[in-house]
Structure 1
Amino acid sequence: MRGKRSLLRMAAWLVFSGSLVVLAYSTYQAVRAPMEAHQALRQWDALKRETEGGSAARAADENPLSSAIAGKLQQTGGGGSPAAPARTAADGELLGEIAFPSLDQRYAILEGTGNEPLKLGAGHYTGSPLPGEDGNSVLAGHRDTVFRNLGKLKAGDRIEVETTSGRYTYEVTGRRIVDENDSDAVQASTEPLLTLITCYPFTYVGPAPERLLLTAKLIEEAPAT
């Protein structure tokens, strides 16, 4: 009997210890993600300071961009034809920042939509035009970090993007919720547009089955100083 009680106590202790480990890891991840995103933004601020007054220098789990959407984008890019973007960037390269004035939030933009870029900020889909260029520039972000408040933006709200090429102001024109397998969710364009993509619903537990797409048109631009 004493041996059975000892085994029960040991099993309870193992369960309790395992729960503590899971809780500690979840807390670590929740704290680390904002810190990493803030670090990328500090790097962008440092890059801006280094290039002020001179020529601009180039900085060397669940994916919002589903395989269906990404597959179609590989065929069309974001422009009106399969032509390559005017400029290209290396995967993980720090491109600039995106700001949402109505939300009082700003985040770094990095090249690529893989795990590493999306840990640090909004990821630019490689193959779509860069912000400010003609065509549909596509940015993806996680629903629990950089794009967690995307659903609060409404038509007419401003989105400000700054890169080493200039400053661009977009105006939100609409939003759509589509199935993650909707390959035609992102439409090609010959006009300078911005499409932001994140997983949806925001509170869904596990891999979300839908995507929220926010579209915006370019209304103002200024070259880099």
Structure 2
Amino acid sequence: MKKRSGLVIAVKLVFVLSLCVLLYSAFQILKAPIEARQALQEWEKKREEAPNLYHAEEEAPLPDGMATPLEGTAPSKPAYTIGDIIGEIYLPRLDKRIAIVEGTERPQLKKGAGHDPGSALIGAAGNSVLAGHRDTVFRGLGALQKDDLIEVETAEGRFIYSVTGSTIVDGDARGVIKQSDEAVLTLITCYPFTYVGSAPDRYLLSAVLLRKEPASLSRQP
């Protein structure tokens, strides 16, 4: 009798714990869109409060053979800290705007697409990597096709990218994010998109920089 009572208590305890985990997961899923909207609103506020958010338009090229005064020194880099809202990405095919947050840990990915601090700055030479959850900010990413445009806006300007392709890699694979001498963008999310639980693979969407638009042509909020 005691053994049966103990078994019943154990089953009830497992049920209660499972229910708590389910409710917590549901709460996080419902909470994510709210945090994502708040992050976008924060970016819009930054844009409104700083009319001169962008740096000066691209400088005219110097005559052949003339070096810049700072030649040989590293270009200035924005002092981003983990958690900063640093811009937004717009996916025209999905008609979707997503805030860009510095960092790729759980707190940042709840707010938007996380910029990998170890990757290149948006619009700079190199591979700029943005990560996002497949069931929230990067939902529908698989619908993007070759030559689709991706618009990215930061304090450095507005950058237009063109999709070049996609690939699927093992989630445990190392070195899948390739280095580049040109300005490219990689969007990464979990795969399969409809997988229940922690997905085993990663979906990488690649794009190349087409142009940087001057501030006067930037999309208005």
**TM-score between both structures, scaled by the size of structure 2:** 0.78
Give 1 or 2: higher helix fraction: 1
8 Å Cα contact 2:47/2:53 also seen in 1: no
SS in 2 for 1:35: helix
User: Structure 1 residues 169, 206: closer, same or farther in 2, change over 3 A?
Assistant: same
Report matched runs for 1:183-198 at 5 Å: 183-198=174-189
Matching residue of 2:141: 150
Aligned pair count reads 198
User: Structure 1 residues 183, 165: closer, same or farther in 2, change over 3 A?
Assistant: same
Provide the C-alpha distance between the structure 1 equivalents of 2:140 and 2:213, rounded to a whole number of angstroms: 27
SS in 1 for 2:25: helix
User: Structure 1 residues 56, 18: closer, same or farther in 2, change over 3 A?
Assistant: same
Moved more, 6-15 or 205-214: 6-15
Aligned-residue Cα RMSD (Å) equals 2.7
Which sections of structure 1, spanning at least 5 residues, go unmatched?
Answer: 58-83
Q: Deviations over 1:90-110 (max 9, x none)?
A: 111111000101101111001
Report matched runs for 1:130-169 at 5 Å: 130-169=121-160
8 Å Cα contact 1:102/1:157 also seen in 2: yes
Q: Deviations over 1:144-176 (max 9, x none)?
A: 111121111110111100011111110100000
SS in 2 for 1:120: coil
Which sections of structure 2, spanning at least 5 residues, go unmatched?
Answer: 56-73, 217-221
8 Å Cα contact 2:89/2:151 also seen in 1: yes
Q: Which of 202, 205, 210 is equivalent to 1:211?
A: 202
Report how far residue 196 of structure 1 moved. Answer: 0.7
Matching residue of 2:32: 33
Matching residue of 2:104: 113
Say which one has the larger Rg.
2
User: Structure 1 residues 15, 140: closer, same or farther in 2, change over 3 A?
Assistant: closer
Matching residue of 1:47: 46
Give yes or no for the alignment of 1:87 onto 2:86.
no
* Corresponding letter in the other structure for 2:77: R
Matching residue of 1:69: none
8 Å Cα contact 1:86/1:133 also seen in 2: no
User: Structure 1 residues 180, 21: closer, same or farther in 2, change over 3 A?
Assistant: closer
User: Structure 1 residues 99, 85: closer, same or farther in 2, change over 3 A?
Assistant: farther
